[in-house]
Structure 1
Amino acid sequence: MAEIGSVIDGKYEILRKIGQGGMSVVYLAMDTHLNKQWAVKEIRKKGNGKDDVVIVNSLLAEANMMKKLDHPSLPRIVDIIDNGETIFVVMDYIEGESLDKILLEYGPQPEELVIAWAKQLCDVLSYLHSQKPPIIYRDMKPANIMLKPEGNIKIIDFGIAREYKEQSLADTTVLGTKGYAPPEQYSGQTDARSDIFALGMTMHHLLTGIDPRGGEKYVPVRMWNPELSEGIEIIIDKCVQPAAENRYQNCSDLLYDLEHPDLITKDYKRTQKRKLRAFVIFGTLAVALAAAGITCRVAAKTINNNDYENLVSVSESTSVDEKIDSYMKAIDIYPEKLDAYEKMLTAYEDDGTFGKKQNDQFLGIYNRNKAEFDTSSKEYAELNYQIGMMYFNYYTDDDGSYSFSNRVQKAISFFELNAKNENISPDFKEKKISDCYYQICSFYKTYILNSATVEEASKENYEQLLDQIDDTLTEVEDSGAYDKLTFYNGVFMLLYDQRTNIEQVNVDQDKILTLLDRVYEKASELTVQKEQSQQLQREILDNYDNYREAIQRTYTNAEERKQ
């Protein structure tokens, strides 16, 4: 056992013990070179149990697996030191409290807070499931979720060594943790849906305070707390279905429902049916009154035209809420005219906010009226392009954070409308850049987001995508500054987000850095006046050094692992 005050590998000074397992001890240590604190896990190679060798190998396998991962909700492994008798694994020191301790101290947690945590967990599970091969966490539970002081979460303890401990209420067995593990985990046949089951049981525990390890029969959350919403009850019940095929099939689908819990309730579905019935009744009355309304229609159209123009021409000084209200009233007059939809998006953009509230507000009116749009018009293509761009570049969660994969999922359908529109207007000038966005999104959907896919992105796949991006950089030279910057920013996010996968298929590092440098130079050369363009330009320039360093570090770490 390491002594307090001793120095490991010439730079990690042991400060104090902060945890202990069967064959490992975790210390808080100070990197004397960087003046930074780390957690150091000490793994003793020689113990008394017959399974010691297996456990040590499992702990090493866990450490090496974690070293390859790079996600804000996962602790990083920065060093593995083997002195012959003891192995030291140096990793992020995570300040905060585990959710099981928060439950113990404060009891059941508010629904809004649990949903916010669940969305973060969906994101990190999607990342793990997208690895090649997919990584199934298998041990989701409050004890393995750390809440950091700033409110973000990290999952800890991949628990491979704990498979070999004696079973107890609080221990992880080969089957996962009792009460959280799905039925199929007892046969070892786990996949992404197994983690979804455990996440569902974790949400149930956080909302009700009922520990599933205690053997209490599962009942829906509202039987414990009637104040909880119908939507969250439906979501959790679907997560914990005994048969995996009846659960959410991936975390992307689960995330969507967590963001829109009201859309799956019985009340919502009844409302939709009532609207349909009202529409049928109204249609019948309209036919009966058509003959009597001919004279009135001409006068009404004149009034409507005047009202419409007034509503879409509100002053720039008007508040964003008043603008949106005015544009929505204009849409009610002429739902087939697209300029009011575009003005709604511009208002969101000018306000710098495009999250769940704005998403639900805009999509509600867009989906209600899209059947009336002229799909061959230039305005239709421009609207879909603008919507896709809003999601791709601006969509954020309620706390201001965002996931690139989440943005891609929301943007793809609108770029697809343009890419597959056989009647698209030849006057739509942004066709090539819109199609490039679609290719980026399609690539994510095919190779990254779908954890059940049998396809894996190859070096050729990545290089084809990068070549298309390179060609599009030339194509956008004639576009406006804002369109250029949104595309540059999208390329930056792609290269940063995919750096690990790109390295794993042996795409040349210089190819990635050259593309990153080219985008940076183009963004630097632009002179922009619009506030949104200035903000995008600053974001690109501010992220450049960090993104470039992260890409280089990914390749350097990979080289070190090969040695």
Structure 2
Amino acid sequence: MEALHQSGTQIAQRYKISYLLGRGATGKTYAATDLQTGEQVAIKEMSMRRAKEWKELDVFEREARVLSVLEHPAIPNYIDYFEIDTDTNRYFYIVQELAIGKSLSQMVVEGWRTDEAGVKAIARQILAILVYLHRLTPPVIHRDIKPEHAICRQDGQIYLVDFGSVRSAFWSTNSSGATVVGTFGYMAPEQDRGQVYPASDLYGLGSVLLFLLTHRSPAELPQRRLKIDFRSHVQVSEQFADWLDLMLEPMVEDRFHSALQALRNLPA
């Protein structure tokens, strides 16, 4: 097992580690202080030795490139990208502003509950982020919208984080042979075929909202003709249930065509 950066140690003579935020298959993420600015940052680390193939490095570098051009108040600011060589390994790092708060997943685990109005407020915020991402040229598609990737600040501000699965190009209906990326239960059906569209993010968001209403993974809910049959498991208005139905349509052409359309049609 590789040694962790310990609390108080420095990376690149600039970032002082505070604590471990999380770990993944190829590396870890730390909370740290930027000694140049005094700001709190998140440092995502990738270990070359732990990567199973070169494509994982390509994905990591693509995430850095995409983050470097994003400018939205609900997406933590990109700060830095660098590499460090040791005698036995090479490490790659992405540094972003730290989103202070708890993930929606953590909040639910801790017993937090909300009502239809609260879920709609979260939907509006995330849809506004998706409108921005999908309007870029080319569109930026997150591909992994899930409760762990939505951070809620104490005042209710939502941040969208972890762009490790992002695509920065529109994928046509004729694309094939693509890598399947996403999280079971939140991943749109077309992603299982290696296809992704802006509307794929809408399915992910719909699944997140369903999780907030039921405190269950959408994968645990019954299905009818490949569609999640959620109405008997939630207490929401008929109008909002109809809206969720459109977000969760298994066929991409049956969903809202864009995040803007979904936002405009979200019941008040």
**Normalising to structure 1: TM-score of the pair?**
0.41
**Deviation of the 1:97 alpha carbon:** 0.8
Question: Equivalences for 1:453-532 in 2 at 5 Å?
Answer: none
Question: Equivalences for 1:161-172 in 2 at 5 Å?
Answer: none
Distance 2:58 2:30 in 1: 20
Aligned to 1:81: 82
Unaligned 5+ residue runs, structure 1?
A: 162-172, 262-563
Contact 1:98–1:145 (8 Å) recurs in 2: yes
Q: Aligned-residue CA RMSD in angstroms?
A: 2.0
Q: Per-residue displacement from partner, 1:488-539 (whole Å, max 9, x unpaired)? A: xxxxxxxxxxxxxxxxxxxxxxxxxxxxxxxxxxxxxxxxxxxxxxxxxxxx
3-state SS of 2:148 partner = helix
Aligned residues: 245
3-state SS of 2:72 partner = coil
By percentage of residues, which structure has more strand?
2
Q: Residue 224 and residue 80 in structure 1: after superposition, are their counterparts in 2 closer, same or farther (change >3 A)?
A: same
Aligned to 2:216: 210
The one-letter code of the counterpart of 1:26 is T
Aligned to 2:159: 154
The one-letter code of the counterpart of 2:154 is P
Contact 2:165–2:181 (8 Å) recurs in 1: no
Distance 2:253 2:45 in 1: 41
The one-letter code of the counterpart of 2:120 is I
The one-letter code of the counterpart of 1:65 is V
Aligned to 1:314: none
Q: Per-residue displacement from partner, 1:247-270 (whole Å, max 9, x unpaired)? A: 111111111121x45xxxxxxxxx
3-state SS of 2:58 partner = helix
The one-letter code of the counterpart of 1:68 is V
Of structures 1 and 2, the one scoring higher in RCO (CA 8 A, sep 6+) is 2
Distance 2:220 2:122 in 1: 23
**Normalising to structure 2: TM-score of the pair?**
0.84
Give yes or no for the alignment of 1:143 onto 2:148: yes
Distance 2:52 2:38 in 1: 40
Give yes or no for the alignment of 1:234 onto 2:234: no
Give yes or no for the alignment of 1:33 onto 2:36: yes
The one-letter code of the counterpart of 2:251 is A
Unaligned 5+ residue runs, structure 2?
A: 167-178
State the structure with more CA Rg. Answer: 1
1:224 to 205, 210, 233: 233
3-state SS of 1:206 partner = helix
Contact 2:144–2:183 (8 Å) recurs in 1: yes
Q: Per-residue displacement from partner, 1:53-78 (whole Å, max 9, x unpaired)? A: 22122112112211110111112210
3-state SS of 1:149 partner = coil
**Deviation of the 1:99 alpha carbon:** 0.6
Distance 2:147 2:216 in 1: 12
Distance 2:250 2:19 in 1: 44
The one-letter code of the counterpart of 1:58 is V
Give yes or no for the alignment of 1:62 onto 2:63: yes
Distance 1:149 1:237 in 2: 30
Give yes or no for the alignment of 1:2 onto 2:5: yes
